[in-house]
Structure 1
Amino acid sequence: MYISSLSIRNFRNFKCARFKFNDGINTIIGENGSGKTNLFFAIRILIDDTLPRYIRFNSTDFNRSLGSNWAGHWIIISIVFDELDASEEAQALAVQSSGHMDTNTKGSYAVYFRPKYQFRKELFDYSQTLAKDAAGLKLLLDKISLDNYETVYLSRGSADFCDEATYKQYIGDFETIEFPDPDQKEELIFGTWLPKEINIHNEVSCTFIKALRDVESDLKSYANNPLINLLRGKERTVAVAKQQEIIDSIDSLNEQISSLDEVKKVKKGIDRSLKETVGTTYAPNINLKSELPNEMEKLFQSLKLWVGDPDDEGYEGRLWELSLGGANLIYLSLKLLEYENVKADKIANFLLIEEPEAHIHTHIQKTLFNNLGTNQTQILISTHSTHISSVSKISRVNILCRGKQQAAVFHPSNNLTDIEIGRIERYLDAVRSTLLFAKGILLVEGDAEQILIPEMFQKVFGLSLDEIGLSLVNIGSTGFKNVARLFHTDRIQKNCAIVTDSDLSIVPLADDPDEDSDEEKKCRASQKSGAERKTDLDAFCKGNKYLKPYYATYTFEVDLLMNANSHEYVSCLPKIYKTPGNIATSKARLEDDDVAVAGSEVLRLAEKFGKGWLALLAAEQLVYNTYIPDYILEAIAFSSAHLNPASRAKAVRHRLKSFKGHAKSSDYSAAMSFVTRDKENQELVDDFCKVFPEDQLTQFLAMI
């Protein structure tokens, strides 16, 4: 049995969230504050016996989108199980569509935090009145406090309360003031009570390994120590003759220790002190004996782990001498072994691991994830590590994204074929998997774009792409589809811009291709493939609001150069050529207004010295007024729809500082007189756009 899905309604940062899981290992990916800890707590409320049996929710546990209007709403957390066996315990969870008790492989278990019957009845009665209105409903809801709520655990329910229509039908529609009759039990929808003899906590095992767990303390605990659980009962399998031999040895050892002169001397000292203190009449008789346990059960419980670093062969020490990460690895291994060997009688075992990257370095993270597989235990790992996400199968990934007062959950493999999933999984590495965490994504063709676009954006606007949550991914070709299909209404709902080239010929082409020179043939072929690629890419992105392509008219290098950026390339020439003549010749060509001349020269340099190397040199020559080509600005703007006022204001301050630092700039005087003090972020941005309507930042902000 394993958890196949989880639905959360109105709990903390989850207004309406659905998670999908598979047996074995599953990954929950998300940035800080996206709700990974809340997700684990929601699961633990239902199946972790270390938490109170009946959780008392607070008003702050309601989703923030409800604000102060939480009264009357329900918190609902529901788990769906799959592959239930035929046992009575598992079938107590089975979802039934009829009264038949045939074996069902799907089951459910849910917790409802809801108003008590009296108040649900009042809401229903009020909804039946003709004079009902919003004001009257508010008066009724204002009477409801947390004391009027109850926590109920039910199994075998079939409803998905993340479905808005279902929630309104069975919980209530607060807008139309329609509430259901609580006398209608709707057991097929909500579920039923578990039989008294069955307790879910006795039937499943759940361990939560938090990010900074005190493993040393857990391994000293009698109740939570997996080592003790693994050893418990093993003493009974030791041969009787062997047991007696060990016990006799310990009895002899205890006698030897007790009879040591040093021990006898201490014993006599204590005895003398007592008699001198209380007198010989009242002083108790004392002895000092060794009490090494001579019972096999206690002997097994006294076994302790000794550990050694693999690089320090021959040395063994106590557990607390290990790093936190090493101790956690040992604890994790013990727990998995305990589940497989000791708790195999449970109908399911669950291991929740929170952010293992908090104390485990990169290589171990990846190895750990690859080797964690077990048939006995379902494992859920939360992470913001790109190393773990890079080896995660996207069919087993849930992506959490922060939103306004609620988290969004995305399933990147939804409605993809196995072939498409496989291609994406092979492509994602620790660098490219950053796109799973980003707020917006920029896919580019090659090294030059990867190097120069982030540098240009930061130099011109004072913001890094990382700072604004934008992930730029170098595809290394024009094969964007494999990765781009992740961004879709069915999967990851984040804006993804594709930046590529149209490859329009930089030299005039005759009508008759037979008249082409070798260079013209090459340009014509590139232009044709560019047009075909554009047609194909446009069709691929059509109707997908999360995906949009942006094209250079020619190529990235040519478009960058022809947007009045000859300075950036000309300044590189002394690092490319040693002779003044070569520098002068190349400079003249780069500064030519004819794209056939300038474009050919920059492409020649890129081909001769490498696009990546030329981009690195050009990046060192960027200035505050380097002009970012429009198609790149538009692509970044599309992927940065989330850009907040604070980031916009920071860019404004950077631009103003840049203007003030260049007295010859045409914007110098306006910048010197621009007032920034005591202005709120949005006011500052609005004023900047009015004073500098032609500036690149103004244009960029208008595109968002």
Structure 2
Amino acid sequence: MYISGLSIRNFRNFKSAHFKFTEGINTIIGENGSGKTNLFYALRILIDDSLPRYINFNSNDFNRGIGNWAGHWIVITVFFEGLDASEEAQALAVQSSGCMDTPSKGSYSVYFRPKYQFRKELYDYSILAEKDSEGLELLLDKITIADYEVVYLSRGSGDFSDDVTYEKYVGNFDKIKFPDPDEKEELVIGTYLPREISIHNEVSCTFIKALRDVEADLRSYSNNPLINLLKGKEKTVEITKQDEIITSIDNLNEKISSLDEVIEIKNGIDKSIKNAVGTTYAPSIDIKSELPNKMEKLFQSLKLWVGDPEDDYKGRVWELSLGGANLIYLSLKLLEYERVKTDRIANFLLIEEPEAHIHTHIQKTLFNNLSKSNTQIIISTHSTHISSASKISSVNVICRGKNEALVFQPSNNLLPNQIRRLERYLDAVRSNLLFAKGVILVEGDAEQILIPAMFEVVFGLSLDEIGVSLINIGSTGFENVANIFHEERIKKYCAILTDQDISVVKLPDSPENDTPNQKHFRASQKSGEERRVIITELCKDNEYLEAFYATHTFEVDLLMNENSPEFVSALDKIYRKESNIKLITKRLENPNIQVAGLEVLRLAKKYGKGWFALLITDELLYNTYIPNYILKAIAFASPHINLSSKVKSIMYRIEKIKNDKYCKTYYNAAKKFETKDKTDLEILEAFIKTFPQDQLTKFLSYL
């Protein structure tokens, strides 16, 4: 039996979320604050016996996005698949009519809902002809948390993350429609487990929390995994060995207590007390050594000593680096899990963010070496190294939305061969597209190097700062990566940046008249046309995917958008002869694309596009002109940019213009631009009005 899904409704930052899981290892990917810890807690409420059997929910546990929580339900359901024929497993089996086979699917749910009398009042009010929203509010205002109940049920088929299901069996607050609580709907909501069966007794669950302060746990008694591993071991020590150890400890205690130095201190204390209160009231004292002489206490006093692999020295855990301490803690917890893992109907191992302070090679090795035998493992992470080692078919992505977490499955409804190609592609660098708020896909080193640099130099914001990942797909086709950005998979905006490769030289009407050079350009132009057809079909009917094209190639379009000074400034890093620099400068500054375009392509080919792009990067200026197709692509991928980021960029642009006396168009306006006593929105509006032709204004208009 394994967990196939988890449905969460109205719990903390999950308004309506559904996670899908597979057998073996599953990965939860999400940025900080996206809800990974809340996800684990929701799951543990149902299967972890280290938590109280009955959780006390409160008003703060309701999702803020629903507004007034009164009357709403919190519903958490874990779905199982692969149930065997045992009585314990079948107690979870989803009920269905007319099925003679042993059910293989099951569920277990916790409901935090108003008690029966309040659900009955809501239903009775909803069938009144004169019902209205004001009357409903008066009714809801009467409900307090004390009027709620916690109910654990199994075998229900309902998924309450689905709005239709929630409205049908909980209610529609806008339309004032509520179900009759006397209609039990046990097939959907579920039934109570038999008295003799407890889910906590039938499954084993070990939770390894995020490795943030493991030293404290390793020092403590209650949370120390070493202590847990040693529990009960004292009973297996031979009686003769126990007697020998206890006798030697008793003798040692006696020797310590009878030391002259100890007796001297004891007599001093005794004398001081008698001098203070007199012999009548002075208590009788002694100093005795109390080394534990019981095997259980002796085992509890054992401490772990460790050392680095290249060093003979061993010391206490806190003498190690944080990464070393984390590795020790992880190892102990994994061993503890192996000890408690049984032949119960299911075994679950939950690991929260194991990557803290751990070297990247160790992260991937740890992930690959986790034991999958008779165990389902769920790991949360924001490490690209762990995510790159994950099978995309076993990944859930959590993103922060407004007042709720959004959950995506990147492989949903993809064909097996599409999933395989995607998994081969996602290395540690490229897997960061799973964490980004928006994505731009490019197919060359020059774009990968220059576009982020241009955006930062021109606007004073990095793509990382606005949550956009620019990914170089290299020789991988766009379709092998871009198809994960879709209504059915990851609902994030992805821009494709590519070239049309229209020839920079004039081509004859007939290919038969082409020179060898013209044949090359004609072939590239044809490839560009074919690529555009494929990408157009890929983006068709997909609101999360859009393509943006350079007319010719990236280098040519960048140069011809009044950026020849940046290219010319880099020439002295390539050529030493002044005559060569002058000749090439003249070509690059030529307004004829057949001259300037050919020259920049020659330079890029001769010195390598990546290296040439690095040279140009050093020459970028705040007024470097970013081609429109690139601005539009970045804007498409980043509709989430907040007002603070926009104002930060405005202030950066104003300061740059103020310090550029050669900028005749904007210099005086920038000097007069006032921000004092203005709100961010007013600053934004004033900038757009004052600088209507500025690149930032243009970029903002594309958002």
- TM category (shorter chain) comes to over 0.9
Structure 2 residue 106 is the aligned partner of structure 1 residue 107 = yes
Matched, 1:209 2:208: yes
Q: Could you tell me how far apart the structure 2 residues matched to 1:642 and 1:369 are?
A: 33
Q: 2:670 aligns to what? A: 671
Q: Secondary structure of 1:479's partner?
A: coil
Structure 1 equivalent of residue 470 of structure 2 = 472
The equivalent of 1:263 in structure 2 is 258
Give the one of 434, 447, 450 matched to 2:445: 447
Q: How many residues align?
A: 697
Identity, % of aligned positions: 65
Cα distance, 1:286 vs structure 2: 7.9
User: Which residue does the alignment assign to 1:618?
Assistant: 616
The 8 Å contact of residues 250 and 294 in structure 1, kept in 2 or not, is answered as no
- Could you tell me how far apart the structure 1 residues matched to 2:440 and 2:600 are? 24
Q: Give 1:482's match in structure 2, choosing from 472, 480, 483.
A: 480
Counterparts of 2:657 and 2:270 in 1: how far apart (Å)?
Answer: 93
2:400 corresponds to: 402
* 1:351-366 aligned within 5 A: 351-366=349-364
Do the aligned residues in 2 keep the contact of 1:659 with 1:671 (CA within 8 Å)?
yes
Partner of 1:636: 634
Offset of residue 270 of structure 1? 8.5
Contact 2:256 2:289 in 1 (8 A): no
Match of 1:582 in 2: 580
- Alignment partner, residue 23 of structure 1: 23
Match of 1:375 in 2: 373
Distance 1:42 1:333 in 2: 25
Amino acid at match of 2:171: G
1:368/1:478 CA distance change after superposition, 3 Å = closer
Residues 80-133 of structure 1, C-alpha deviations (whole Å, 9 max, x = no match):
122233333333222221498964332211111111111100010111111112
2:199: which partner in 1?
200
Name the counterpart of 1:518: 516
TM-aligned CA deviation for residue 265 of structure 1: 4.7
Once the two structures are superposed, what CA deviation does each residue of 1:141-171 show, in whole Å capped at 9, x if it has no partner?
1211222111211111110011111111100
Q: Are the structure 2 counterparts of residues 590 and 671 from structure 1 closer, same or farther at C-alpha, using a change threshold of 3 Å?
A: same
Partner Cα distance (1:496, 1:669) in 2: 39
Instruction: Determine if contact 2:500/2:550 at 8 Å carries over to the other structure.
Output: yes
Query: For residues 272 and 630 of structure 1, what CA distance do their matches in structure 2 show?
Result: 91
Partner Cα separation in structure 2 for residue 453 and residue 469 of structure 1: 15
The separation in 2 between residues aligned to 1:331 and 1:478, in whole angstroms, is 40
Look up the SS of the partner of 1:50 in the other structure: coil
| Structure-2 separation of matches of 1:24 and 1:292 | 44
> Is 1:267–1:286's contact at 8 Å kept on the other side of the alignment?
no
Are 1:130 and 2:129 matched, yes or no?
yes
Measure, in 2, the Cα distance between the counterparts of 1:90 and 1:542. Answer: 46
Deviates more, 1:25-34 or 1:488-497: 25-34
Structure 1 residue 268: deviation in Å? 6.4
Superposed displacement of residue 195, structure 1: 2.2
- TM-aligned CA distance change 1:223 to 1:378, over 3 Å: farther
Instruction: Report deviation, 1:273.
Output: 7.7
Map residues 36-435 of structure 1 onto 2, 5 A cutoff: 36-67=36-67, 69-98=68-97, 103-212=102-211, 214-216=213-215, 218-219=217-218, 225-232=224-231, 243-247=238-242, 249-250=244-245, 253-254=248-249, 257=252, 260=255, 263=258, 265=260, 293=293, 303-312=302-311, 314-435=312-433
In the alignment, residue 10 of structure 1 is paired with which amino acid? N
Task: Tell me, yes or no, if the aligned pair for 2:204 and 2:340 is still in contact at 8 Å.
Answer: no
SS at match of 2:177: coil
Task: Check the 8 A contact 2:353/2:380 in 1, yes or no.
Answer: yes
Contact 1:339-1:376 at 8 Å conserved across structures: no
Please report how far the alpha carbon of residue 304 of structure 1 lies from its aligned counterpart in structure 2 after TM superposition: 3.9
Q: Deviations over 1:239-272 (max 9, x none)?
A: xxxx255245435634753675983657866897
> How far, CA to CA, are the matches of 2:291 and 2:466 in structure 1?
65
CA distance in 2, matches of 1:350, 1:654: 51
- 2:702 paired residue number: 703
Contact 1:25 1:373 in 2 (8 A): no
Which whole-Å deviations, capped at 9, do the CAs of 1:449-488 have from their partners, x for residues lacking one? Answer: 1111111111211111111111001112362121111111
CA contact (8 A) 2:206 2:337 kept: no
Letter in 2 for 1:205: S
- For structure 2, the 5+ residue unaligned runs are none
Between stretches 91-100 and 629-638, larger displacement belongs to 91-100
State the 1:366 CA deviation: 1.7
Looking at structure 1, the residues matched to 438 and 667 of structure 2 have their Cα atoms a distance apart, in angstroms, of: 34
Against the structure 1 CA distance between its residues 509 and 258, is the aligned structure 2 distance closer, same or farther, given a 3 Å change threshold? closer
Give the equivalent residue in structure 1 for 2:8: 8
**Can you list the C-alpha shifts for 1:628-670, whole angstroms capped at 9, x where unaligned?**
1111111111111111111122222222222222222111122
Decide whether the 8 Å contact of 2:249 with 2:293 is kept in 1: no
Which stretch shows the higher mean deviation, 495-504 or 286-295?
286-295
Tell me which moved more, 254-263 or 448-457.
254-263
Q: 345-354 or 260-269: which moved more?
A: 260-269
Q: Counterpart amino acid of 1:340?
A: E
Instruction: State the superposition RMSD in angstroms.
Output: 2.7
Q: Which amino acid aligns with 1:246?
A: K
Q: Which residue in the other structure is 1:461 paired with?
A: 459
One-letter code aligned to 1:263 = S
User: Retained in 2: the 8 A contact 1:495–1:546?
Assistant: yes
**C-alpha separation in 2, matches of 1:268 and 1:568:** 87
The SS at the match of 2:318 is: helix
Inter-partner Cα distance in structure 1 for 2:524 and 2:99: 68
- Give the whole-Å Cα distance in 2 for the aligned partners of 1:544 and 1:99: 41
Distance, in Å, in 1 between the alignment partners of 2:259 and 2:621 is 87
On the 8 A contact 2:114/2:148 being kept in 1, the answer is yes
- Alpha-carbon shift at residue 187 of structure 1 (Å): 1.3
Amino acid at match of 1:306: W
The offset of 1:51, in angstroms, is 3.0
Indicate which of 586, 599, 602 corresponds to 1:601.
Answer: 599
Q: Deviations over 1:495-531 (max 9, x none)?
A: 1111111111110000121211111011111111111
Q: Which moved more, 1:210-219 or 1:492-501?
A: 210-219
Which of 537, 551, 574 does residue 553 from structure 1 map onto?
551
Distance 1:610 1:499 in 2: 20
Q: Which has the larger displacement, 638-647 or 375-384? A: 375-384
Distance in 1 (CA, whole Å) between partners of 2:125 and 2:257 is: 86
Quote how far apart the aligned CAs of 1:535 are.
0.9
Structure 1 residues 106 and 322: CA distance shift in structure 2, 3 A = farther
SS of the residue 1:459 aligns to: helix
* Matched AA of 2:73: W
Helix, strand or coil for the counterpart of 1:550?
strand
Q: Could you tell me how far apart the structure 2 residues matched to 1:635 and 1:100 are?
A: 53
Give the TM-score normalised by the residue count of structure 2: 0.93
Moved more, 479-488 or 339-348: 339-348
CA contact (8 A) 1:71 1:141 kept: yes
CA positional deviation for 1:209: 2.6
Matched AA of 1:39: L
Contact 1:401 1:408 in 2 (8 A): yes
**Structure 1 alignment gaps of length 5 or more:** none
| Offset, 1:219 | 4.8
Cα contact 2:257–2:289 (8 A) shared by 1: no
Which has the larger displacement, 282-291 or 196-205? 282-291
Question: What SS does structure 2 have at the residue aligned with 1:356?
Answer: coil
TM-score (norm. length: structure 1): 0.92
Q: From the superposition, tell whether residues 608 and 248 of structure 1 become closer, same or farther in structure 2 (CA, over 3 Å).
A: same
Aligned partners of 1:460 and 1:624 also within 8 Å: yes
Q: Deviations over 1:219-256 (max 9, x none)?
A: 56666554455445556666xxxx25524543563475
